[in-house]
Structure 1
Amino acid sequence: MKMRRDLLFNRELSWLKFNTRVLNQCSKNIPLLEKLRFVVIYCTNLDEFYMIRVAGLKQLFAAGVVPANEISPLEQLNAIREYLHHEKETLENYYFSIMKELENAKVYLKNYNELTRNQRGKAKEYFFSTIVPVIVPIAVDSTHPFPPLNNLSFSLVLKLSSDTDKHHKFAMIRIPRVLPRFYEADTGLFVPIESIVKEHIEEIFPGYKLEQSAAFRVTRNADIVIEEEEADDFMMLLEQGLKLRRKGAYVRIQIEQGASDELKNFLSSHLKVFNKDIYEYRTPLALSSMLQIVNNKELSHLCHISYIPKILPPFDENMSIFDVIEKQDVLCYQPYESFDPVASFIKDASKDPRTISIRMTLYRVEKNSQIIRALMDAANDGKQVTVMVELKARFDEENNLYWAKELENAGAHVVYGIAGFKVHAKIAQVIRQMDDGSLKFYAHLGTGNYNGNTAKVYTDVSFFTSNFDIANTDITAFFTILTGYCKNKQLRVLSMSPFQIKEKVLRMIKTESLAGKNGEIIMKMNSLVDDDIIKALYEASNKGVNIKLIVRGICCLIPKMKGHSENIRVISIVGKYLEHARIFYFKHATPQYYISSADMMPRNLERRLEIMTPILNESLHAKLAEILRLQLSDNQLAYELDENGIYKRVENNENPIDSQAILESYISGIYKSFKKGRDKEKANQLAQKFFREN
């Protein structure tokens, strides 16, 4: 039974407030291009929100669907529009403030007409040599229909006149993605591509005079709905779905401020976009493309000093990774600790003559993945390689489809998932055969993807073990469920959704409820949406349980609400790294600590295959405890949620605690101590001392 709407924050508005916290990083005392990076992240997030969440609400509204006990789709759409139209001014103010500061640092964004004569000459050469061959001029009239526009495509809409025609003509110029968003006229001088194109409109349409122009950008419904049939057909179905994504309904127009009503009406009449979904900007459009400036190597002095992730004991380049894991469980925290041991786990297995089998799940991987190359090498070498490639990973479908085919061509057994479910679990298993013929099992379980790029900016927990009940019994059973037929979908030590995680979490919350004021729960996650979990937390709070929640993004639970959640505190950490790890602590559970690939959302708990891993080795508990303690003490990156839905910055500059900076410093200190004396035992002792005493 769904909870009353007055006991929950709205999911969509909660997400928008998270994105506001991302944008508000621009007000902090951080390097200039880091501020601009947060603008990029904010805009990229908003693109996806419109492509999926707003598009979904529009479909519900069109279908006349009004879910019980929830705000209607129309009410949500109106609230979203009001929120975003208001926040657009905040975005613009941050942008112009950043650009003014960048000018003081000799970094400029100028339109074509602001360039010197010499710079205009070079820009003109660039226009004819590079832009003209790839842009697409399009007439729009009775014989030239309005063209289909790709999702997030960037174009110019034009009104033209000529001496020979009585009537004005409308036209468009599509600016393809192969062109950079900005032309770099000189070191630190960037020119928006559309300002160069606008200057030469009359050369693109000879004989016509430009009357009006405006840059605009469209957003389309990008949610793929696939009716899953036979597994053999799934790749074909996905490819068809990706083509259909390009034809999704238009859901938003972004247009430069000052565009005439005539041009806006022309676009909205053809694109069928509601006026309230047309956003006018004083800034350049497609701000997510400013990553081109943020990542410019010549401007690296305006970014954070790069932190290099460290490899700490017990991992050592002089010792086999399998010997280390066989001796003890190991827990790493990326990106403070390096992702290299995760990649080495697969790479070393692929080269090891003892390896007979590698199994793993892949959800999102980088385009040039060392891990996939290693899996292909292992398959080519005759090792048994089984890979679950989740083809339904949103916006990674094409990349995953490519790698699935490459793995198959190398001889790997590739599984594409289970009908009706996404496989979001992060698991790898290596089986090695010893000289006496016995088999040894090794496992990696994580909260994040097997992606070396995101591992540098996402905080995630990696856990390595050779525990027989996990590495052999449970993980073997998990892959049997994925690849074959299995009536029993219960794991013994690990918990798997949609069959076990939710029930396990609810039981542990209930146990803390029975302990009353002696109970304690700490949960770190990305999102908290599930009604049943929230209801159980409310009940535990009413029993006096001390509940602390670290929820980066969506939080539908209302804290500090009289009679429901007076003992619940909710904070969100937003900083240099994206907080992505899921860590759970229950004081009276055995064991007390868990990591998981799952958030507390219906999709994770009921419609995905996820894994929750108990950390059985108590020597590793202190590390997880310190991560949680540091974040709960943070007064530089933390925002606390109140009962009115407002996130207030937790700030204490007299005794500043920046959890991310402290972890960088601490890990670096342990690493230096280890490298200086090559004393692994001393480094371990330093780590234990830090985690137990700080």
Structure 2
Amino acid sequence: MSPADFLKSPLPAPIDVPETHRTGPKRFGNRELSWLGFNWRVLDEARNPRVPLLERLRFVSISATNLDEFYTVRVAGLRELARKGVTTPAADGLTPHEQLRLIDKDARKLMQAQQTVWNQLKREIEAEGIQILSPSKLTKADKGHLAEYFLQGVFPMLSPLAIDPAHPFPFIANTGFCLALQLERKKDGRPLRAILPIPAQTNRFVPLPDRNGNKRFLPLEDLLVMHIDQLFPGYAPTGSCTFRVLRDSDLEVEEEAEDLVREFEVALKRRRRGEVVRLKMSAGAPEDLRRVIVSELDITEAEVVEVRGLIGVGDLSELVVDDRPDLLWPAFAPRVPERVQDHDGDMFAAIKQKDMLLHHPYETFDMVVRFLQQAARDPDVVAIKQTLYRTSKNSPIVEALCEAAEDGKSVTALVELKARFDEAANIRQSRRLERSGAHVTYGFINYKTHAKISTVVRREGDQLVTYTHYGTGNYHPITAKIYTDLSFFTCDPALGRDATKVFNYVGGYAEPDGLENLSISPHSMKSTLIDCIRREAEFARNGRPAEIWGKVNSLIEPDMIDAFYEASQAGVKINLVIRGICGLRPGIKGLSDNIRVKSVVGRYLEHSRIACFGNGHGLPSKKARVFFSSADWMGRNLNRRVETLIDVKNPTVKAQIVSQIMAANLADTEQSWVMNADNSYTRHPVNGNGFNCHRFFMENPSLSGRGSAGAADVPKLAHSKD
């Protein structure tokens, strides 16, 4: 299906609902259940026969790690509200207690489905020569190899802990995985209970030497049971089980903290000791052992999940081995933009020629790294400013900033300490930057700084020229290989001034005045978007073409949803690509008749945020208003974070966003799910002529990155109406 065909295809017949569902809380879907729905779609990719086998295994792992994080943050927060007796409902009308009950029911089904999918995949990977062995399948040679591996590679890290009056139950950190044992002393039958924490620093699946061309693994917990006599000499095991603990991982920071870094360091230590929100335990555990664990962790039976299968499904990612390329996605090498090659790799010359929008991972993120590395080494560069929300452990971005500072350039790094689960890493990066001589600021206590901006000020003749990078994703070279994001490079003076004002705002608290091409949260972004939606509604009421295309990860902000409903009722045609959470209910008669929502889940994680408004000319159109952003359409992004929304003026970049990126996402059938009015999803039917947007992007360069060859031969999936 082409984008034109998709957009011309009739909308499904709207369903009728009671009036209260159009005007009351039922017009919204529940955030938490919608997130679980997304994770069901992730898991379904593990069942998808069009996905290579080991990539299917990776999807199971992703689904499990996603669910763990969901429990440690979202469920932990709801649980705390319910315990305090809070009955204030969410936007959809459900109280914390009601949400927890529905979450538990759906999450248990999801965990069981993960086991079912894993069991099927296990049979399939074994047929391909990747075997997960049980101790009974080991040969004498295997046991000898494992004995040596245990003594040299595992034993030094283990700390077996008895449980008796002299040895109280040990603290098990968040995500801690343990083997619990019932033992009996051989000489007199005296019982002993013990806990063996399993180190996260060792492989969960122990590799064995290949045999007959087969790759072979043994689960670590089986290796430990095999060598209990070396951990508890003189004792014999009479029963065992494995269990895994998830704890509340949300951070609380004092509002008036004098030393923000130190306060976060203390808060991180508290996180490790957060209350247990879920205990997963292998089914069939000895009753006495089970009772002790549940009691000592101070949880209720409702918070225990018995697992008939593998505990720690997220660890299956270890089995995605690189030396079986036949079972992985075909290799793809990201492109270097032709324009950069035309200028012999000189980023400043390429940007000065004209604005350039790169689409990662199809165009390499190395261009962002090169931009900063060249800035660090260029004697004409006098200043660099950079936001850092998430980045890699040995970040080349941070390396370049340190090099620039050590070379005497003025370097300002805005490090967000509240980037969830990256707080400790960001503290380390900030310390390193400070040692190099960079100015490090941490932004606001109440707002996270989620904007993705980098500016380089360069002396050219008797002028200072500002080169600016705006992104939709983090400055993280690793995730940039699997997240689809936009990187916009420009030396437009207005966009440079806007970026500088944002840095001054976050560093000095002065609300920016007179932004020229930028709207920011928490001040003007939400109103800008809603004004554009309402303007389309006015065009529709006046009989002019009215159309909206949007692409974000999440849409739950009630005011945004209501604005879309009002526009739909006015006759605006609305097509939304919402990867994850969606609180809008499409296809309801009299409310959202003209709204279509789809989710794309495939090889790459859709992460870019885009908004396109026909501006009285429909879509696609050269006269459309086109934006890209660092923000999702959620309350936190629009009201409680510093985010950017860039109004695109360059016509080539506009065409790239509308006629390539958005058109391909709308046309996709092979990786798409269509949302129903009840917030459920139906996989788009795939036939022999299915269209895969990720494959399209891999095969076709971005319009604005073309060099001397020009852009005429680059396919555009949609053609402007005027």
Which TM-score band applies after superposition, normalised by the shorter structure?
Answer: over 0.9
**Distance (Å, rounded) in 2 between the aligned partners of 1:254 and 1:102:** 26
- Equivalent positions of 1:467-482 (< 5 A) are 467-471=492-496, 473-482=497-506
Which amino acid in structure 1 is aligned with residue 59 of structure 2?
F
Partner of 1:661: 695
More displaced, 311-320 or 507-516? 311-320
Which amino acid in structure 2 is aligned with residue 457 of structure 1?
I
- Aligned partner (choices 285, 294, 297) of residue 311 of structure 2: 285
Find the residue that maps to 2:44 and give its secondary structure. Answer: helix
Q: C-alpha offsets along residues 104-161 of structure 1, whole Å, 9 cap, x if unaligned?
A: 1110011223211210121122122222221111111222111110111111111122
Q: C-alpha offsets along residues 563-594 of structure 1, whole Å, 9 cap, x if unaligned?
A: 21111101000000000000110111876110
More displaced, 138-147 or 502-511? 138-147
**Distance (Å, rounded) in 2 between the aligned partners of 1:413 and 1:549:** 41
Partner of 1:106: 129
Change (3 A) 1:618 1:413: same
Q: C-alpha offsets along residues 23-61 of structure 1, whole Å, 9 cap, x if unaligned?
A: 000111221110011011111101100110111111001
Mapped pair 1:144 → 2:180? no
Mapped pair 1:208 → 2:229? no
More displaced, 189-198 or 476-485? 476-485
- Equivalent positions of 1:609-620 (< 5 A) are 609-620=642-653
More displaced, 255-264 or 491-500? 255-264
Q: Per-residue deviation at 1:487? A: 4.7
* 1:481/1:489 contact within 8 Å kept: no
* 2:652/2:704 contact within 8 Å kept: no
Mapped pair 1:581 → 2:608? yes
Which amino acid in structure 1 is aligned with residue 691 of structure 2?
I
Change (3 A) 1:6 1:193: same
Give the structure, 1 or 2, with the largest relative contact order (CA under 8 Å, sep 6 or more).
2
**Distance (Å, rounded) in 1 between the aligned partners of 2:511 and 2:441:** 19
Mapped pair 1:34 → 2:55? yes
**Distance (Å, rounded) in 2 between the aligned partners of 1:88 and 1:424:** 32
* 1:313/1:683 contact within 8 Å kept: no
Which amino acid in structure 2 is aligned with residue 6 of structure 1?
K
* 1:591/1:614 contact within 8 Å kept: no
In structure 1, the gaps of 5 or more residues are: 675-679
Q: Per-residue deviation at 1:262? A: 3.0
Partner of 1:533: 560
Q: Per-residue deviation at 1:610? A: 0.2
Q: Per-residue deviation at 1:357? A: 0.4
- Equivalent positions of 1:2-401 (< 5 A) are 4-29=24-49, 30-68=51-89, 70-162=93-185, 168-187=191-210, 188-230=215-257, 233-294=259-320, 296-316=321-341, 318=344, 320-401=346-427
Mapped pair 1:641 → 2:667? no
Change (3 A) 1:688 1:190: closer
Which amino acid in structure 1 is aligned with residue 501 of structure 2?
A
More displaced, 658-667 or 441-450? 658-667
Partner of 1:500: 524
- Aligned partner (choices 592, 596, 611) of residue 569 of structure 1: 596
- Aligned partner (choices 606, 621, 639) of residue 639 of structure 2: 606
Change (3 A) 1:53 1:3: farther
**Distance (Å, rounded) in 2 between the aligned partners of 1:371 and 1:13:** 37
* 2:115/2:310 contact within 8 Å kept: no
Q: C-alpha offsets along residues 587-613 of structure 1, whole Å, 9 cap, x if unaligned?
A: 118761100000000000011000000
Which amino acid in structure 2 is aligned with residue 379 of structure 1?
A
In structure 2, the gaps of 5 or more residues are: 1-21, 617-622
More displaced, 476-485 or 183-192? 476-485
More displaced, 410-419 or 508-517? 508-517
Between the aligned residues of both structures, percent identity stands at 37
Mapped pair 1:455 → 2:476? no
Find the residue that maps to 1:119 and give its secondary structure. Answer: helix
Q: Per-residue deviation at 1:489? A: 5.2
**Distance (Å, rounded) in 2 between the aligned partners of 1:159 and 1:318:** 67
**Distance (Å, rounded) in 2 between the aligned partners of 1:160 and 1:652:** 56
Which amino acid in structure 2 is aligned with residue 506 of structure 1?
I
Change (3 A) 1:689 1:659: closer
Which amino acid in structure 1 is aligned with residue 425 of structure 2?
N
**Distance (Å, rounded) in 2 between the aligned partners of 1:585 and 1:225:** 37
**Distance (Å, rounded) in 1 between the aligned partners of 2:294 and 2:514:** 53
Find the residue that maps to 2:673 and give its secondary structure. Answer: strand
Q: C-alpha offsets along residues 71-93 of structure 1, whole Å, 9 cap, x if unaligned?
A: 11111111111112122232112
Q: C-alpha offsets along residues 434-462 of structure 1, whole Å, 9 cap, x if unaligned?
A: 23x21111100010011111111000011
Find the residue that maps to 1:687 and give its secondary structure. Answer: coil
Output the aligned Cα RMSD. 2.1
**Distance (Å, rounded) in 2 between the aligned partners of 1:441 and 1:488:** 18
* 1:44/1:288 contact within 8 Å kept: yes
Change (3 A) 1:489 1:261: farther
* 1:478/1:491 contact within 8 Å kept: no
Which amino acid in structure 2 is aligned with residue 631 of structure 1?
N
Change (3 A) 1:613 1:623: same
* 1:528/1:554 contact within 8 Å kept: yes
**Distance (Å, rounded) in 1 between the aligned partners of 2:511 and 2:670:** 50
More displaced, 270-279 or 632-641? 270-279
* 2:65/2:314 contact within 8 Å kept: yes
Q: Per-residue deviation at 1:260? A: 3.2
**Distance (Å, rounded) in 2 between the aligned partners of 1:670 and 1:123:** 56
* 2:229/2:235 contact within 8 Å kept: yes
